[in-house]
Chain A
């Protein structure tokens, strides 16, 4: 019997020992706190939140976030609490063991607004020490926004352990935000907080400073000067932001207009189907991506690199075809050229509509073109940045081509004096065809870039044609630098007018300004001088 008893005691001790190791805090404060959720009492719930958030248990975060989402179920009869996942699986909140099903008597733990705030704060402090850098940063920022006094300890604890500089800065700002709103914080602490927020200098910091309520006189004074300095710097940043938007719009305009500057500027041909060349480039991108998606999914990030030369070739070939079959019969009759190419644009649009359907087609962004980064107070998206760089590269290549290659030399010769060039043995009709092909090909490349930021539909080209003509006419015909300056001037002017006058009125104002500008300088900003003008 004693042996028997001792054996039983042994096994009991062993079991207890094992349980103690496997679940180190069985029936400890954590489990007690979890059980409190089942009481359906707001003050018990609040207490539980506080204990769980500070417990360091790895279940703490799942429990609190389940509580936040209404996925924490409590059974008032058995005092058991369950976390139901979004995938339908449930675990026991106290032990973390999976359970087959939650009893029917269980219901979601209720929250009120006060509790919701402490849940948010708990989540903030729980994630402040997460091993993932991004989560930590986000948590610090959410504490900054909520600036709950209860999070102060967690922030201080996190701050002590933190090694990453940007997270540290974010935590410091969060701490400052809390201190600023903490009634019993010392004046020195508050002054430091104001200084920290001033250094942060963005819209959120401004909102905190303006909404901080009654403070000691010194703090109020410091805050007022901080507000003024933040407002100044914000105004500067908004100028920078507008300028960046303007550059971005300008690069799009330049891209669309640069091919036109060649056909209209160099050859004097009004090509109303220019926008359709852009559209063809965009659809080439679509086709390339479709082929890649279906056959070589791994190449998707290179799809644009493949599409650029292809679009140049496709649009360029169509351009040469157009020049040979239509335009060359209409030289010297610019108004007729305008009508014929308008007709051509209708045909091309309808052809694309018939082949690809009238709706927008999906063109994806490769990974290196999606996303954004912050520069000071402004956000710069990668696709806009790449398009700006790409546009400048195309411009530089084109300029170099006109300057240094034989074809460029011939093109300039034909522009300046067609008959003289012909007398010198330049095959002017061949140069015409190639020039038109070049202009169309560049429009095709523009289409590849524009497919990244605009809807790829049969009407894509139409929305750019008037703007492109405005750029070329404004910048001056026959001068690529004029096109560059024209595009960026119009882009930036447009974006600076937009906040003042609204998008549509801004655009109307730009059109009216161009119409008036043409009165003053009928040949544009950078007009060709000499006899070429009257030709």
Chain B
């Protein structure tokens, strides 16, 4: 990524967005750690964890926007990549518990001891090393997305068919991870974590650092997405979204482009999941539920698909609303609101918040320039002002 590419990819909205995320990433942890507890400006630790969760969701939304907004691939199974990344991190955290588990087994996690397993399954090897787990966070979702996408895109499974089979994929994984003999803790999942890289996951300092890291990951993810969509590759992606057959007839290998962006997106979702798990302290199979993936899609739709900033904004806004409503007396009505959000956004606000705002700004700007041109022309007294379209 050259500096030239970076500057080209950043318009004003993107710059503002990055500035806000960076400011949050620095100021919130600092205020949490340095200011005295109870002070007006101090951010309580529970809020740091909560907002850290939102930031992870924002990364997930970004990854969905990359493929849906720019390439027209509606994945209803992105929660699966998110959860796989989370499980990879969870496995590392489980291995870090060591002898502090209930059964005190230095190697086997508690649930394996409970199931009377004698040794670690082969796929748990290496997860005691952070670098390996971090690699797997990228590799496992990426590999699954690559295989899945390779099969799907090559045989030109598109549109709703792709959506449905991605949903089937996450559903199959949900069923698999619920099984005890699958070796990932069954329906309890992985939890009761102690340390990450030697720091206590419950400690305020660790939480603040994780929050800052999540913000950093969001910034990096955003820059990668911007770089992709504003490059020549991005133009082809948009062409695929708008007219797939035509792009193919023009000589582009559509499936390669799709496969690339799908894999990148899955890796991003994996990172989001990996950051999510230490902050919420648990990962269980319900993260694979098809409903979660669809909910993530609606964040993007609310914020505005194909805008990147909108995806992140939508994730934060919808999840903030969810926290707000589900914790109060309005809790029974939250599903009504969420459902209505799905319907109203698709019917009335198809471009989402940011998309609608951009359209409004562009048309206002156009009017202004038209008016300026008209008044300039009128001053010159040469031609009649052009009628607005």
A and B held together in a complex: yes
What residues make up the interface of A, taking CB atoms closer than 8 Å to B? 270, 326, 329-330, 333-340, 342-351, 354, 466, 469-470, 473, 504-505, 507-508, 511-512, 514-516, 518-520, 522, 534
A492 shortest CB reach to chain B, Å: 19
Assuming the contacts A342-B294, A515-B151, asked whether A326 and B347 have C-beta atoms less than 8 A apart, the reply is yes
Interface core residue of A343, A347, A350 (most chain B CB under 10 Å): A343
Interface core residue of B148, B161, B338, B342 (most chain A CB under 10 Å): B342
Residues of A within 8 A of B152 (CB): 518-519
Contact (Cβ within 8 A) A512 B346? no
A4 shortest CB reach to chain B, Å: 92
A158 to B156, CA, bound (A): 73
Of all chain A residues, the one with the shortest Cβ separation from B158 is A522
Residues of B within 8 A of A347 (CB): 335-336, 339-340, 343
A36 to B164, CA, bound (A): 76
Contact (Cβ within 8 A) A519 B154? yes
Residues of B within 8 A of A514 (CB): 165, 168
1/0 per residue, CB under 8 A from A, across B326-342: the answer is: 00000011011011111
A184 shortest CB reach to chain B, Å: 50
Assuming the contacts A339-B294, A515-B169, asked whether A520 and B155 have C-beta atoms less than 8 A apart, the reply is yes
Contact (Cβ within 8 A) A346 B338? yes
Residues of B within 8 A of A339 (CB): 294, 297-298, 301, 342, 345-346
Closest 7 CB pairs of A and B: A343-B342, A346-B339, A347-B339, A350-B335, A511-B172, A343-B339, A340-B346
B178 shortest CB reach to chain A, Å: 7
A422 to B175, CA, bound (A): 46
* A346-B336, A351-B336, A518-B157 given; 8 more Cβ-contact pairs under 8 Å: A333-B350, A336-B346, A338-B160, A349-B335, A350-B336, A466-B168, A466-B171, A515-B169
The 24 listed contacts between A and B (C-beta, < 8 Å) are A270-B163, A330-B347, A333-B346, A334-B160, A338-B76, A343-B340, A346-B336, A347-B340, A347-B343, A348-B339, A351-B336, A466-B168, A466-B171, A469-B164, A473-B161, A473-B164, A473-B165, A505-B176, A505-B179, A511-B168, A515-B172, A518-B161, A519-B157, A522-B156
A6 shortest CB reach to chain B, Å: 91
B148 shortest CB reach to chain A, Å: 8
Contact (Cβ within 8 A) A350 B339? yes
A534 to B179, CA, bound (A): 41
Contact (Cβ within 8 A) A338 B163? yes
For chains A and B in complex, what number of residue pairs have CB atoms within 8 angstroms? 120
In chain B, positions 7-49 with a C-beta closer than 8 Å to chain A are none
Asked whether B290 is an interface residue with its Cβ less than 8 Å from the other chain, the reply is: yes
Of all chain A residues, the one with the shortest Cβ separation from B169 is A515
Asked whether B159 is an interface residue with its Cβ less than 8 Å from the other chain, the reply is: yes
Contact (Cβ within 8 A) A343 B159? no
Contact (Cβ within 8 A) A340 B343? yes
A505 to B175, CA, bound (A): 8
Of all chain B residues, the one with the shortest Cβ separation from A515 is B165
Assuming the contacts A473-B164, A504-B179, asked whether A466 and B347 have C-beta atoms less than 8 A apart, the reply is no
A368 to B245, CA, bound (A): 56
Contact (Cβ within 8 A) A518 B155? yes
Residues of A within 8 A of B175 (CB): 504, 507-508
Contact (Cβ within 8 A) A512 B172? yes
Contact (Cβ within 8 A) A346 B168? no
Assuming the contacts A334-B160, A338-B74, A338-B160, asked whether A345 and B172 have C-beta atoms less than 8 A apart, the reply is no
**Selected contact of A335 from candidates B163, B178, B290, B332, CB within 8 Å:** B163
Residues of B within 8 A of A344 (CB): 339, 342-343
A349 to B291, CA, bound (A): 13
A116 to B152, CA, bound (A): 67
In chain B, positions 60-76 with a C-beta closer than 8 Å to chain A are 74, 76
A335 shortest CB reach to chain B, Å: 5
1/0 per residue, CB under 8 A from A, across B116-154: the answer is: 000000000000000000000000000000001001101
Residues of B within 8 A of A507 (CB): 172, 175
Of all chain A residues, the one with the shortest Cβ separation from B335 is A350
